């Protein structure tokens, strides 16, 4: 194998979850992403999407990054980090500009000015802006415009969705990435990443809710008419289900996780009343046989709580009735048997499991819900960079034309 090279044509993403740290590396070949390598380790020092203890968190990131470097045979210098957890918030905002007394053609600069006006909501000093997502433009009171450049009008307004996070939480992640030798180039909300890999263009248009059920929390992104209409974080993830089993059956967390994955179900009636499971228990609560339904009886209320909270959140965000294409569950926690049924019965829309789109040359074992966030962060970063490059190119071409015309 050749010596690893520093390669600036690579995109590296760092998904620091509550249960695992995942580093994924891709190269851009012929305009498309191609898998180069990955690394994954158990996450230490993380709680609810926050770095709770710096040294162990940094160590697990260093380990995962080292694995990815070896696997990709490259020296990784930059990365895009994912931000998630209950400290992330979403808000909609509207603003615009007047183009003067006479109608004229809208330019890219007008669009920028309108967006700047709409984003000028005052953020508390503690908040950091992660995304600024245009929903629609409104030109002279005509709504539903996606790209107003070249249209004629008088007043241009824009509806934006702003996603913000705790500045100190983001800074702690940056510090950990730096300790692993990675400079942070960008930040992506984990929900936006997971959606990029799992939600189709049709679903975005019709209205859909993406839920990334992680270990510590569930990130939510709602699409409507092709744009992000709402984002939220529900403070329940797969580990809450595991802990309920550990407490309810007096078993250790490791056994609770095993029981959840192999015998768990979120719907009590899906389990035969005669099925039994052997559990080893803890000292004082020795090995015994329990009805398998007992596990489902513990899990079902937690599933209902998750979707109750989600339903209330969607209702207060005004998007509960906007889910024409239903909901898409992804993240490791979405693998829990019966969770889709629980989602369907509480949200009253169809639910499906979100498997991420595969990158070329990517090992098959990565095409799993728990990799949706990392894969989607790669896709999102690539897509936005291509868009930005095209915009810069057209601006340069325009400047060249103006310059040539003035000679």
Contact residues toward ligand ATP (CB under 6 A) are 17-20, 43, 49, 84, 214-217, 237-239, 242, 257, 260-261, 331-333, 335-336, 370
Closer residue to Mg ion (CB): 242 or 373: 373
User: Closer CB to ligand ATP, residue 326 or residue 338?
Assistant: 338
- Closer to ligand ATP by CB, 69 or 370: give it: 370
Of residues 62 and 372, the one with the C-beta less far from ligand ATP: 372
Size of the site for Mg ion (CB under 5 A): 3
Our finding on whether 191 is near Mg ion (CB under 5 A) is no
Q: Where does this chain touch Mg ion (CB under 5 A) — which range of 42-50, 139-147, 180-188, 206-214?
A: 206-214
Q: Which is nearer to Mg ion, 214 or 303 (CB)?
A: 214
Query: What's the CA angle centered on 90, arms 302 and 164, to 5 degrees?
Result: 115
CA distances from 33 to 27, 148, 183, 373, 394 (A): 6, 30, 21, 16, 23
Rounded to 5 degrees, φ, ψ at 273 are -70, -15
Mark 349-378 with x for binding to Mg ion (rule: CB under 5 A) and - for no binding: ------------------------x-----
* Residue among 157 and 239 whose Cβ is closer to ligand ATP: 239
Q: Does 193 bind Mg ion (CB under 5 A)?
A: no
Please list, in sequence order, all residues whose beta carbon lies within 8 angstroms of the beta carbon of residue 125, skipping any fewer than 6 positions away: 167
Using the rule CB under 5 A, which residue among 12, 14, 16, 17 binds Mg ion?
17
261 contact choice in Mg ion, ligand ATP, none (CB below 5 to 8 Å, kind-dependent): ligand ATP
Q: Least distance from C-beta 200 to ligand ATP, angstroms?
A: 21
Alpha carbon separation from 342 to 211, 313, 321, 346 (Å, rounded): 13, 17, 18, 6
- Binding flag, residue 214, Mg ion (CB under 5 A): yes
Which residues make up the interface to Mg ion (CB under 5 A)?
Answer: 17, 214, 373
């Amino acid at each position: 194998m050749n010596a690893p090279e520093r390669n600036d044509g690579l995109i590296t993403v760092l998904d620091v979850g509550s249960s695992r740290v995942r580093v994924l590396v891709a190269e851009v070949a012929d305009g498309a992403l191609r898998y180069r390598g990955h690394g994954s380790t158990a996450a230490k020092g993380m709680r609810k999407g926050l770095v709770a203890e710096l040294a162990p968190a940094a160590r697990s990131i260093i380990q995962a990054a080292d694995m990815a470097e070896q696997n990709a045979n490259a020296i990784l210098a930059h990365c895009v980090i994912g931000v998630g957890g209950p400290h992330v918030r979403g808000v909609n905002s509207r603003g615009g500009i007047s183009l003067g007394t006479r109608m004229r053609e809208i330019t890219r600069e007008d669009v920028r000015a309108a967006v700047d006006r709409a984003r000028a909501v005052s953020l508390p000093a503690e908040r950091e802006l992660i995304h600024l997502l245009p929903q629609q433009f409104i030109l002279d009171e005509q709504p539903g415009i996606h790209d107003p450049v070249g249209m004629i009008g008088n007043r241009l307004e824009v509806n934006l969705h702003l996603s913000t996070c705790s500045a100190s939480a983001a800074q702690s992640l940056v510090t950990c990435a730096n300790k692993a030798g990675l400079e942070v180039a960008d930040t992506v909300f984990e929900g936006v990443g997971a959606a990029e890999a799992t939600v189709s263009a049709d679903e975005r248009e019709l209205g859909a809710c993406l839920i990334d059920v992680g270990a510590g929390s569930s990130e939510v992104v709602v699409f409507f008419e092709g744009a992000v209409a709402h984002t939220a974080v529900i403070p329940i993830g797969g580990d809450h289900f595991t802990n309920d089993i550990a407490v309810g059956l007096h078993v250790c967390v490791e056994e609770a996780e095993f029981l959840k994955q192999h015998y768990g179900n979120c719907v009590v009636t899906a389990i035969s009343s005669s099925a039994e499971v052997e559990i080893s228990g803890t000292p004082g609560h020795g090995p015994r046989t329990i009805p398998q339904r007992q596990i489902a009886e513990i899990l079902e209320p937690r599933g209902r709580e998750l979707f109750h909270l989600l339903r209330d959140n969607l209702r207060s965000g005004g998007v509960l009735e906007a889910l024409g294409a239903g909901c898409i569950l992804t993240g490791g926690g979405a693998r829990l048997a019966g969770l889709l049924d629980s989602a369907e019965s509480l949200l009253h829309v169809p639910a499906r499991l979100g498997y991420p789109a595969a990158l070329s040359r990517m090992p098959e074992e990565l095409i799993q819900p728990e990799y949706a966030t990392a894969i989607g962060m790669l896709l999102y970063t690539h897509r936005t960079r291509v868009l930005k490059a095209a915009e810069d190119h057209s601006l340069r071409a325009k400047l060249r034309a103006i310059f040539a015309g003035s000679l």
